Amino acid sequence: MQLYIGNKNYSSWSMRPWVLLTQAGIAFEEVKIRFDAFTPESQFKTELARHTPAGRVPVLVDEGFAVWDTLAIAEYLAERFPDKQLWPIDRRARARARSVCAEMHAGFGALRSHFPMNVEARLPEIGARVLAEQAGVRADLARIVQMWGELLRENGGPLLFGGFSIADAYFAPVVMRLVSYGVPVPPEIADYMARVQALPGVAAWVRDALAEQDFLDFEEPYRQHR
Which domains can be identified in the chain, with CATH numbers?
2-84 (3.40.30.10), 91-208 (1.20.1050.10)
Question: Tens digits of per-residue pLDDT, 118-134?
Answer: 999 999 999 999 999 99
Q: Summarize the confidence of residues 17-44 as an average pLDDT.
A: 93
Question: What is the mean predicted confidence (pLDDT) over 8-19?
Answer: 98
Is 207 or 45 the better-scoring residue by pLDDT?
Answer: 207
Write down the pLDDT at residue 226.
84
Q: Are 225 and 213 in contact (CB under 8 A)?
A: no
Q: Return the pLDDT at 37.
A: 80
**According to the model, what pLDDT value does residue 39 have?**
85
Q: Which residues contact 64 (CB under 8 A, 6 or more apart)?
A: none
Q: ∠ at Cα 100 (208, 74), nearest 5°?
A: 50
pLDDT band, very low/low/confident/very high, at 192 (cuts 50, 70, 90) = very high
Residue 186 pLDDT level (bands cut at 50, 70, 90): very high
Q: What is the pTM of this model?
A: 0.96
Report pLDDT for 65. 96
User: 46 in helix, strand or coil?
Assistant: helix
How, if at all, do strands 29-32 and 65-68 pair? Answer: unpaired
